[in-house]
Structure 1
Amino acid sequence: MNEIIIEPVLTEKSTRLIEEGQHYTFKVAKTANKIEIRKAFETRYPDVEVGEVRTMVVRGKRKRQFTKRGLVRGRQAAWKKAVITLRSGEIDLYESV
């Protein structure tokens, strides 16, 4: 279950969502579905109840870098993001950072 939720996404937008309501954003395994994400989240944080799970696949970006040897091209990997809305409870994402 622990390999389903990889890490929290701490960006300006996700921090604003936490402040406005009970929305938490996490990077999850690409093969995980909403039911598995819900069970893993409730196992990791036992005193919260999940209301809704929304998932999306974030596209990998193309990267270019100019070096002495010329142009080096690459690509970031695609990853899956889950936005979790809580029905009850609250978590502190910054306690383990």
Structure 2
Amino acid sequence: MNAADILIAPVVSEKSYAGLADRKYTFKVHQRAHKTQVRHAVEELFGVKVDSVNIVKVQAKPKRRGAFKGTRPGWKKAIVQLREGEKIEIFEGAQV
């Protein structure tokens, strides 16, 4: 997998934006990606140095609309902490 396949999208939520003060950025990542691949993808795509990576597997949730039952698919997210003095510019200009 190349770097663009590993990082799918940034996670936009209040909790993920609260982590920006601590240089923590949250991404939705490929199901088979592991910590080392995520680290290399972030460093390659954004040109920053990564301090640590935490991976969280978000479980599927049962949903229902009237008589129809189903499940929302599960996904994997990565919380990436950057080294001191590093930041990703695309997150900095966003308003919450």
How many residues get paired?
90
Q: CA RMSD in A?
A: 1.5
* Identical residues among aligned pairs (%): 36
Q: Measure how far apart 1:83 and its partner are.
A: 0.3
The structure with more radius of gyration: 1
Distance, in Å, in 1 between the alignment partners of 2:60 and 2:4 is: 24
Q: Normalized against structure 2, the TM-score is what?
A: 0.88
| Structure 2 unaligned residues grouped into runs of 5+ | none
Counterpart residue number, 2:39: 38
Matches within 5 A, 1:2-81: 2-18=4-20, 20-46=21-47, 48-66=48-66, 71-81=67-77
| Structure 1 unaligned residues grouped into runs of 5+ | none
Where does structure 1 differ by over 2 angstroms across 4 or more consecutive aligned residues?
A: 92-96
Q: Measure how far apart 1:60 and its partner are.
A: 1.1
Looking at secondary structure, tell me which structure has more strand per residue.
Answer: 1
Q: Normalized against structure 1, the TM-score is what?
A: 0.87
Looking at secondary structure, tell me which structure has more helix per residue.
Answer: 2
